[in-house]
Chains A and B, each alone.
Chain A
Amino acid sequence: MPVITYREALNQALREEMQRDDRVFLMGEEVAVYQGAYKVSKGLMQEFGEMRVVDTPITELGFAGVGVGAAMVGLRPVIEFMTWNFALLALDQVVNSAAKMLYMSGGQYKMPMVFRGPNGAALQLAAQHSQAWESWLAHIPGLKVVTPGTPYDAKGLLKAAIRDDNPVCFLEGEMLYNTKGEVPEEEYVIPIGKAEVKREGDHVSLITHGKMILVALQVADQLAKEGIRVEVLDLRTVRPMDVEAITATVRKTNRAVVLEEGWEVAGIGAQVVDYIQRECFDHLDAPVLRVHQEDVPMPYAKSLERAAKPDAGKTIAAVKKVMYLE
């Protein structure tokens, strides 16, 4: 099976879906001539032309709204935000227009569109460029929120997102674009809303999504050497969340740690813990712990940034705590 980068996987998904359906177009800053700030759209303008791969001015609110309008009348826009940090300017369109149009029109106007771009911190980009937005977006009924952590998931889920008739927020990771993984040559689509056990184990469940899947697998490797068998559950989609998969893993291991990139308060982990206490109350052998970014804006200095981020060390400590090993 070919091994390709997360970036190439996304590029393949876009190309294949644009070949498949001429209503699909890509719009955003630097997507065409520059071929993408992160080169996700490399070669697409050359193949599909400037009407289908559209450079915009720096106007997130504006072009997010353009996508909404195009989707209302039957096109299938993929709106790229150079990063989700900039998408904050477009939230009125994402939340008030895209998420609510179907409902407030009494079912008349569906929104077949994707908002996508890198989410979360990279390295030393400081406070305004280092934020994980999924809990904000997952709060909103009418949206789907997808957070692939591997090239395989990135491709299969982006194809599903483009084919979905609902607005899908698709959160990639700047630090993920260069990561590699196996991606089959033949066509596949991964259903939105389905979690996946990325590694089986029976001592403790480590539930995570997005970029943190890499940390979780690292933790599982390390703890395996100590004889601790960690089951890693990758949510892949945080709205709708796969409650069945969460329930299954926690009932199996009776212990859970929830790992996420974003902040603690009202985070994704808080929702996961709520499902666990409802569905697995009698199965728990320890309180569920959470690992997340420290409750501060992201600092610039390398040492402080490292301390602010969730990492393997913090996760291992949490896992050992729920196993009463420390």
Chain B
Amino acid sequence: MAKRKPQPKPATKPAGKSVSSKSAPAAAQAASAEAELNRELLYSMLLQRRFEERTAEAYAVGKIGGFCHLYIGQEAVSTGSISLLRPDDYIITTYRDHGQALARGMTPRALMAELFGRADGCSAGKGGSMHLFDRNLNFLGGHGIVGGHIPIATGVGFAIKYRGGDQVIVCFMGEAAVNGGAFHEALNMAALWKLPVIFVIENNRYGMGTAVERASAINDIYERAGSYDMARGVVDGQDVFAVRAAMAEAVERARVEQAPTLLEIRTYRFMGHSMSDAVSGTYRSKAELDEHMKRDPIVLLRTHMEEAGEIDEAALTRMDEEIKAICQDSWDFADQSPEPPLEALYEDVLVDTTSDAVAEAEAAA
């Protein structure tokens, strides 16, 4: 019988609050470090928000085409979880991938250029909104088939273990992915082989327009990990501190014990499923949306910081203006970036190298 693993409690306060036992200078130093960290978290979340507001605008004027899924409302999940990772850790995600890419450090220029379908995009204009990749960031892509990337995450975990490394991989997915076979096949192997994979379900309550309770036989989705005797937890995804607390445990478990975790991070999508989807009206009511928007993750963090005296109105305005300028710059950059040359059409279908070539190159170097 699988033991129920302890659930991370939603942390209402940031970790490291118990400063009373420390000396006064140490306490001041800790408070300052904490304020700095919180400013970074806020910056990351606000960058995603402002960037995607411009994304919606660019889509509306035809600069961006195809499918485009906004992340607005869920920023505490990406920022909170990715803030715990090392540069050599890995991330893989779904087609709703702008937020995680920015949180990981992808430049707004490379991202916007990709959305515009330009040569300077992070995937050279060949991926688009749903397929953001950045090898330098170990960002293994946005993937377009629901659940398809989950076994890939298990494979990366396998490779880490194969090499004896201590990296982790974080696999983001929506709650609707848990009803497909790929999810179960991937979790089973990750638990069976004890792989350092952190499966993060971003439960935004709707798989496109189908509410979670209309698609999943159980509503506490994290309990699905019980089938695989996997550590699991449920987290308030609007609270970046709660996300960080849960992720810290999961990362430790993966890095030290090489064991997987399933986290259900409960959040809410403030926009439609994609750009063609009304924000509310068919599958969810305006009243429900309004209720959830009262718990905007950015507002919650800002309020906490204001109350803690970590930021004031002027500093907030400065940060916002700086971010808006960066987003404008990304738009201008993308606009000026050339379209991929026609020769690129036939490039990157196959490579013409073999392991011999790699070995030869390594030997030469």
A residues with a Cβ closer than 8 A to B are 21, 23, 25, 51, 56-57, 59, 61-77, 92-93, 96-97, 101-110, 112, 141-142, 144, 160, 162-166
> Quick check: A108 and B123 within 8 Å, CB to CB?
yes
Q: List 30 A-B contacts (CB under 8 A).
A: A25-B162, A59-B189, A62-B151, A62-B186, A63-B185, A65-B182, A66-B152, A66-B155, A68-B151, A68-B152, A68-B155, A69-B152, A70-B156, A70-B159, A92-B182, A93-B151, A97-B143, A104-B127, A105-B123, A105-B131, A105-B135, A106-B125, A109-B141, A110-B351, A110-B353, A112-B355, A163-B354, A163-B356, A165-B354, A165-B355
Q: A142 near B350 (CB under 8 angstroms)?
A: yes
Closest to A21 in B: B355
Let me know if A105 and B127 touch, CB within 8 A. yes
Residue from the list B124, B159, B192, B351 in contact with A69, Cβ < 8 A: B159
Tell me whether A104 and B188 are in contact in the complex, defined as CB-CB below 8 angstroms, given that A65-B182, A66-B155 are known contacts.
no
Q: Does B112 contact A (CB under 8 A)?
A: no
| Contacts A65-B186, A92-B182, A106-B121 known; 4 new A-B pairs at CB < 8 A | A23-B355, A65-B152, A106-B123, A106-B126
Given contacts A102-B350, A105-B123, A109-B140, contact A70 B155 (CB under 8 A): yes
Whether B127 pairs with A106 at a CB distance below 8 angstroms is yes
The contact of A57 among B131, B150, B160, B189, by CB within 8 Å, is B189
Taking CB atoms, residues of chain B closer than 8 Å to A166 are 350-351
**Chain A residues positioned under 8 Å from B90 (CB to CB):** 73
The 9 closest A-B pairs by CB, nearest first: A69-B155, A65-B151, A62-B185, A106-B124, A105-B133, A66-B155, A69-B152, A106-B123, A107-B348
In contact, B159 and A101 (Cβ under 8 angstroms)? no
Q: Is the CB of A165 within 8 A of B358?
A: yes
Contacts of A162 in B (CB 8 A): 355
What chain A residues lie within 8 Å of B125 (beta carbons)? 106
Closest chain A residue to B183, Cβ basis: A62
- Give B143-185 as 1s and 0s: 1 = Cβ < 8 Å from A's Cβ atoms: 1110011111111111111100000000000000000011001
Residues of B within 8 A of A104 (CB): 123, 126-127, 131, 133, 141
Q: Which residues of A contact B92 (CB under 8 A)?
A: 69
Partner of B189, one of A56, A108, A141: A56
Residues of B within 8 A of A (CB): 90, 92, 121-127, 131, 133-135, 140-141, 143-145, 148-162, 181-182, 185-186, 188-189, 192, 347-351, 353-358
> Smallest CB-CB separation from A74: which chain B residue?
B159
Contacting residues, chain B, for A66 (C-beta < 8 A) = 151-152, 154-155, 158, 186, 189
The minimal Cβ–Cβ distance linking A71 to chain B, given in whole angstroms, is 8
Q: Tell me which residues across on chain B come within 8 A of A106, comparing CB atoms.
A: 121-127, 133, 348
- Minimum C-beta distance from B279 to chain A (A): 29
Residues B351 and A165 in contact, CB atoms below 8 Å apart: yes
Closest to A107 in B: B348
Neighbouring A residues of B192 by C-beta, 8 Å: 57
**Is the beta-carbon distance between A164 and B152 smaller than 8 angstroms?**
no
Give the residues in chain A near B135, CB-CB below 8 Å.
Answer: 105, 108-109
